[in-house]
Amino acid sequence: MVEPPRTIGEHGIIGDLETAALIARDATIDYLCWPSLDSPTIFAELLDADKGGAFTLAPVLEAPERMQLYVPDTNVLLTRWMAEQGSAEVRDVMPLPDPRVHPDRAARCLIRRVTVTRGCVRFTMRCAPRFDYARELPAVAASERGIRFAGRELALRLFASVPLAAASDAATADFTLRTGESAWFVLGDDALQCPDDLAVEQDLAATTEAWRAWTGKSSYNGRWREMMTRSALALKLLTSARHGSIAAAATFSLPEATGAGRNWDYRATWIRDASFTVYAFLRLGHVDEAEHFNRWAAKRVMAASAADPIRIMYALDGSEAADEQELTHLAGYAGSRPVRIGNAAHAQTQLDIFGELLDSVYLSNKYGQAISHEGWQHVRGVVDHVIAHWQEPDAGIWEMRSEPRHFLHSRVMCWVALDRAIRLAHQRSLPAPLVAWAEARDAIVEDVWSNFRHPDHGYFVQERGGRELDAALLMMPLVRFVSSTDPVWLKTLDAIGTELRDDGLVYRYCNADGLEGGEGAFTTCTFWYAECLARAGRLDEAQMILAKGMAYANPLGLFSEEVDRRGQPLGNYPQALTHLAFISAAYFIDRRLDPSYRPNWQP
């Protein structure tokens, strides 16, 4: 394994609801796709320290202590350096593309403002973009008080309040500030005009206030407010303001096991993950985001047909997700190759997505706008598809790259699809063949109880006729398929705790999945486990698992997809599924610990 210059967890994230940048604890921007989250990278040093490109800004201080924090209730990131001879901080922000906030903005940008808070400090800056996943070195030239980076299909401009120099492969600066003095750098679209000091300050202030206004809409006032707020802000950064789609994570090819080949691209909208995110947004009172996603999802449902059913994932603009490619020129994070973009799983059959989709439709109708007549016809089409195919094998929630199997989680979520459609029809008095739907729903129940139990121990198992456990079974009581205190379920919960849990770490499964190498513990499963414990009445255990799960966040409160046996982050980052699982578990435990607590939204 090659030691990376910066670990996954040593990063904060900023964004403008179209793309997002990762900023390391040393203030290096070493990951940024432009102009969209699923566009090629312009900085990818996180994936290749030599070729990837980065935007560095560093003080010349002896052994400084570094730290990061967010401006409270915002996605404005501060990186600080503190040393005996001086201290400084850089404030990083991407102005939001909201005409109410920036009515005159013609171009998108990233702003970096550095300030000396004590002493006299010299700084060096180097902005070295590498376009098209580091396959193109842009031409660098001085232009109109700034630097222009020009490629075949993309051009960017960099402006600054200090002198810039154009090198053959980067823009550089060397400057000194004293206590209270600031300098700024603005990198953005080719149409960007050089701002002045006042414009930069106004952008910083307006964006900060816009984030605070969004956070202020939250209805949550429980004991984990700070972590809830950070999780909501992270989820919001993964949401497209233009389309309403929600990315599974901001990154691609960060490994599930360093040095191995489990490196996938998560910059797409999984119907499953995004539907769970709708649930989290509704719980916190962010109804607009839930409704925006459902409008996006409705277009996908309307475009589906019997010959071309709903896909498990889509590009953020709603088009077909990209095919998988390997970027052989990149070394990979910690030498983890191959580096992949696109995702071959988009062609898989995963029957569980219909349950997650209709659950989000049901909840949005219950707590948001009523479904339209046309929308209901498409829901009926989804139900017909589920009834026709629920008995078939699939790749499952974990996207197994082995032969399709009959997974219990997929069966349960097919039941959810039918159950939520039946509930919605009753609540809205909508026309539907309810008797046939109920018969199909009940047939799934019978199949699960008859064919998905361990032959010796009686608890639920991963697949039909199998013996192995799967942490996805933790969803069973969360979607109300089984009572959280049913004796068979409690045996299943205990078995998961014995076989798949290592203290606060919970693994997805232990059996072969068609891929080489192992993987870390799945952070989402830790929070599912905590919520199941709480629903079973084991509150002391639930609180302890929740506390341990929260400790897997980095100091900024951001979760990766997985963690290794030392608790160090692995996988794509930040991971939407983990943040929303935390929101669900903490929200429920809040209610159990304080019976007087009455949230504005009831699940």
Range of the domain at 97: 11-211
**Is a pLDDT exceeding 80 seen at residue 551?**
yes
Q: Are residues 242 and 375 in the same domain?
A: yes
Q: Same domain, yes or no, for 276 and 207?
A: no
The three-class DSSP label of residue 250 is: coil
Q: How far apart, in Å, do the first and last CA atoms of the chain sit?
A: 45
Distance CA 322, CA 265 (A): 10
Q: Are residues 192 and 335 in the same domain?
A: no
Residues 455 and 313 in one domain: yes
Does a structural domain hold residue 5? no
Tokens read off for 287: 């109804």
Determine the pLDDT at residue 517.
67
The per-residue pLDDT for range 313-325, each reduced to its tens digit, is 999 999 999 999 9
Q: What is the pLDDT of residue 603?
A: 47
Amino acid at the residue 72 = P
Q: What does the alpha-carbon distance between residue 534 and residue 542 come to, in Å, rounded to a whole number?
A: 5
- What's the rounded Cα separation, in Å, for the pair 245 and 38? 12
Distances (CA, A) of 233 to 12, 141, 273, 288, 591: 12, 37, 16, 14, 22
Q: How would residue 290 be classed by pLDDT, with cut points 50, 70 and 90?
A: confident
Contact 296, 246 (CB under 8 A): no
Read off the pLDDT of each residue in 492-517 and give the average, rounded to a whole number: 90
Give dist(CA 590, CA 588) in Å, integer: 5
The answer to whether residue 402 is domain-embedded is: yes
Check whether residue 551 and residue 579 sit in a common domain. yes
Q: Report residue 597's pLDDT band, with 50, 70 and 90 as the boundaries.
A: low
pLDDT tens, position by position, 413-451: 999 999 999 999 999 999 999 999 999 999 999 999 999
Residue type, 420: R
Give residue 442's pLDDT. 98
User: By mean pLDDT, which of 76-85, 332-341, 489-498, 510-519 is the weakest?
Assistant: 510-519
Q: Does pLDDT of 105 surpass 90?
A: no
Percent of the chain's residues with pLDDT above 70: 97
pLDDT for residue 507 is more than 70: yes
Whether 206 and 261 map to the same domain: the answer is: no
Among 1-5, 297-301, 452-456, the minimum mean pLDDT is found in 1-5
Rounded to the nearest integer, the mean pLDDT of the chain is 93
CA-wise closest residue to 379 among 476, 269, 297 = 297
- To the nearest 10°, report the CA torsion of 50, 53, 55, 58: 0
Say if residue 260's pLDDT is above 70.
Answer: yes
* pLDDT bucket at 188, cuts 50 / 70 / 90: very high
Residue 410: inside a domain: yes
pTM for the model stands at 0.95
Pair (147, 296) in one structural domain? no
Could you give the CA distance from residue 86 to residue 119 in angstroms, rounded to a whole number?
4
CA–CA dist 204, 216 (Å, integer):
18
Taking only the tens place, the pLDDT of each residue in 360-400 is 889 888 887 889 999 899 999 999 999 999 999 999 999 98
CATH number, domain with residue 154: 2.70.98.10
* 270/307 same-domain check: yes
Judged against a pLDDT cut of 50, whether residue 601 lies above it is answered with no
Tens-place pLDDT, residues 214-250? 999 999 989 999 999 999 999 999 999 999 999 999 9
Examine the domain organization and report whether 260 and 157 are in the same domain: no
In a domain, 1, yes or no: no
CATH number reported for the structural domain that contains residue 348 in this entry: 1.50.10.10
Task: Report the C-alpha gap between 199 and 212 in whole angstroms.
Answer: 20
Residues 163, 229, single domain; the answer is no
The tokens describing 331, both together, are: 């070394």
Give whole-number Cα distances, 541 to 413, 473, 546, 552, 566, in Å. 27, 19, 9, 17, 21
- Two tokens at 542? 């639930």
* Domain match, 298 and 391 both: yes
DSSP 139: E
User: What is the C-alpha separation between 343 and 78, in angstroms, rounded?
Assistant: 34
CA distance 187 to 160: 9
* Claim to verify: residue 400 and residue 276 sit in the same structural domain: yes
Report H helices in 304-402. 353-367, 373-389
